Amino acid sequence: MAKVERKTKGTLSEDRLRDFLREMLLIRRFEEKVEERFRAGELPGFLHVAIGQEAVDVGVCQAMDDGDVFASTHRAHGHTLARGTHPNAVMAELYGKIEGCSHGYGGSMHLYDVERGNLGANAVVGGGLPAITGAALAFKLRKEPRVAVAFFGDGATNIGTFHEALNLAQLWQVPAVFVCENNHWAESTPASQQLPIEDLSKRAVAFGMHSITVDGQDVEAVHKAAARALKHARDGKGPVFLLANTYRLVGHYIGDPQVYRDKEELQETRETQDPIDKLRERLEISEADFEELDREAHELVEASVEFAKAGTDPKPEDALKNVYA
């Protein structure tokens, strides 16, 4: 396919978008593989995938600078990969190996990579938000041009930490970006049963916080919105609430039979709201080109499984290390 550079103002280059597609495919294939290996009985623990939300992962993480930090959620594989942690290190963590990004201490719900700003995926809904306000406070006190980013879902906007963390961040005008991945489900509970309002940005506006709403299935739009939000925070104009409306195209956890979800509606959402399909169409990428990108993603993922399986098991008594610094 001939390369045609789109010169429309404000849009990203096709090369950059192809990189985004490559990242999104890596995350998708990685999570599909995680699901497969979990069902095969190879992976211990409790696993949540974010299939359908890859445009938010990639759009936000690619807009962050070196030195920025973030806190993730129980659905953390995408954020972690999109911020540059090698799939080998993530997969090794899921297999409980020393080579894992948390050295086998964390697992899927506690992926860390401090060198790349990952301050930890959190298995308590909303648990990571106050620390993001605090990290941003540290950046402000030290006059460092860095931003702290929190990822969380719509369900987290109902918990106290969300309200306390946003209130304090706005009060103190710290450089934080609060990214709400609104996938319309709190585990199995639909928005209609957990949220008395439809527009979640009202919750941030109530604190006087600047808010941006974006189509979370459009990676280019997410990237632009995230870049604006990060710049706003970095420029000392205060924190930003970034509401990305997205879709979880799978269950809450791997193995979730989703008895609570309308099958036809889910099928229709999958056919119309897949962020990878959307980007593929946007790029008008040929079948052959797409297959080439997809093959690369598959190879990386397969290699990560081989790497993880060949990894080193911690000694049982290693459990007693790292309790204290």
Partner 1 sequence: MPELSYREAVRDALSQAMRADDDVFIMGEDIAEMGGSMGVTAGMLDEFGPERVRNTPISEMAIAGAGIGAAMQGMRPVVEIMYEDFTTLAMEQIVNQAAKHRSMSGGQLKVPLTIRTQGGAGWSPGAQHAQQLEGWFVHVPGLKVVFASTPTDVRGLLWSAIYDDNPVMFFEHRTLYGLKEDVPDELEPIPIGQGRVHREGADVTVVATGRLVHEALAAADEAEQEGISVEVYDPRTLLPLDEDGLIASVKKTNRAVVAHEAVTRMGFGAEVAAIVQEKAFDWLDAPVERVGAKFAPLPFAPVMEEFVVPHKADVLEAIRRTVARG
The binding site for partner 1 (CB under 8 A) comprises 69, 100, 102-106, 110, 112-115, 119-120, 122, 124, 127-139, 141-142, 148, 160-161, 164-165, 167-168, 171-172, 321-325
Please, are residues 34 and 43 in contact by the beta-carbon 8 Å criterion?
yes
How many Å is the Cα radius of gyration of the chain? 19
Angle of helix 287-309 versus helix 87-94 axis, rounded to 10: 50
Q: Least distance from C-beta 51 to partner 1, angstroms?
A: 25
C-beta closer to partner 1: residue 9 or 143: 143
Q: How far is the CB of 177 from partner 1 (least distance, A)?
A: 14
Residue closer to partner 1 (CB basis): 52 or 120: 120
Phi then psi for residue 176, to 5 deg, are -130, 150
When the beta carbons of 52 and 87 are compared against partner 1, the nearer one is 87
Q: Is 247 helix (H, G, I), strand (E, B) or coil?
A: coil
**82 CB contacts (<8 Å, ≥6 apart)?**
23, 27, 57, 58, 60, 61, 62
Do 237 and 265 touch, CB atoms closer than 8 A? no
* 29 vs 48 by CB, closer to partner 1: 48
Report the amino acid identity of residue 76. A
| 69, containing H or E segment | strand 69-72
> How many C-beta neighbours within 10 Å does residue 295 have?
12
Cβ 140 to partner 1 shortest distance, Å: 9
Supply the minimum distance, in Å, between the C-beta of residue 243 and partner 1.
21
The span from the CA of 264 to the CA of 27, in Å, is 25
Residue nearer to partner 1 on the CB measure, 46 or 105: 105
Helices and strands of the chain, counted as H and E runs = 12, 8
Residue 177 or 276: the one with the smaller Cβ distance to partner 1 is: 177
Least separation in angstroms between CB 23 and partner 1: 23
Residue 94 CB, shortest distance to partner 1, in Å, is 14
